[in-house]
Amino acid sequence: MTRRVETSRPQAKTDLYTRVTHAIVADLEAGVRPWTKPWSAEHLAGRISRPLRSTGEPYRGINVLLLWAEAVANGYTAPTWITFRQALALGGHVRKGEHGATVVYANTVSRTETGDDGQDVERQVPFLKAYTVFNVAQVEGLPAYAHAVAEPKVDAAQRIDHAEAFFAATGAEIRHGGDRAYYAIHPDYVQMPPFECFADPEAYYATLAHESTHWTRHPTRLDRDFGRKRWGDAGYAREELVAELGAAFLCADLGLALTPRADHASYIASWLDVLKDDRRFLFTAAAHAQRAVDFLHGRQAP
């Protein structure tokens, strides 16, 4: 029987951060950006979505990366993941010998501490818990609806129309011209090469998703700053990793294939430096990317 694993103790947290980061680092050292794997896996072609809870609610942040990786490694096509107890509640059971995937829950708790002046101070202390989930492909006896495979909800042309409307609704100033894609923070605009320069429409929107994630860092929006001083430094690499993950999440939400940008292959070495120096940053980057994606979704008409 799988039991929930508490990881709020310092040593347990260290093991979790290290284990997840080491797995991502191993892929990056092989020249692979693991968040692009679901789009290149034959068994998932055309069925990309975020991993789903038993309620149909999408997973968020670092858990998206964890479960995408698990699905690719094991060939799972169903997007739904459930706990051991949820399987029992639905009348099913996890097959003997199956191994679950680790997902995490992060939050804060209030703690009263004595300050330097002797007065009680309320502090918010972050904590992290890990628990185990199973893909529904590992579970027998579930109702048929639990095994539904995520299919594209609309055809390709409709997905492109939806993407165009989505980015227009963000309110970002998007300029076209030249041969580079970037976000200019001080004049506050996104620069994109002409649409016709891209290999296909999805490549254009994947790039726009990346730059739109950068757009959210402006001080009047999410005010995200990693202390970047110059091109290519650690702060720059951290922001680029956030934008990479934000683009992956957005493409999944919009039903678009994520087309890795060739010009970002050179960033892998800088990401490796950052992740090896700070084993927690992958979690931080995924959280920032999720906030950016939430912000862009929040700009859509109700």
- Return phi, psi of residue 292, to 5°: -65, -45
Long-range contacts of 271-274 (CB under 8 A, 24+ apart): 271/28, 271/237, 271/240, 271/241, 272/25, 272/28, 272/29, 273/234, 273/237, 274/234, 274/237, 274/238, 274/241
* pLDDT tops 80 at residue 40: no
C-alpha–C-alpha distance, residues 72 and 77, integer Å? 9
pLDDT tens digits, residue range 261-283? 766 667 888 999 999 999 999 99
Q: How many whole angstroms from its chain centre is CA 183?
A: 20
pLDDT tens digits, residue range 218-248? 999 999 999 887 777 899 999 999 999 999 9
| Confidence (pTM) | 0.86
Q: Coil, helix or strand for 215? A: helix
Query: Residue 149: which pLDDT band, with cuts at 50, 70 and 90?
Result: low
CB 240 within 8 A of CB 267: yes
The answer to which of 26-40, 54-68, 174-188, 193-207 has the lowest mean pLDDT is 26-40
At which residue do the structure tokens 């590992």 appear?
138
pLDDT tens digits, residue range 80-122? 999 999 999 999 999 999 999 999 987 777 888 877 777 788 8
* pLDDT tops 50 at residue 129: yes
Q: Name the residue ranges covered by the structural domains of the chain.
A: 10-147, 156-298
Report residue 179 as tokens.
Answer: 């041969």
pLDDT tens digits, residue range 13-22? 557 888 889 9
What integer best gives the mean pLDDT of the chain?
86
Query: Residue 32: which pLDDT band, with cuts at 50, 70 and 90?
Result: confident
- The DSSP letter of residue 231 is T
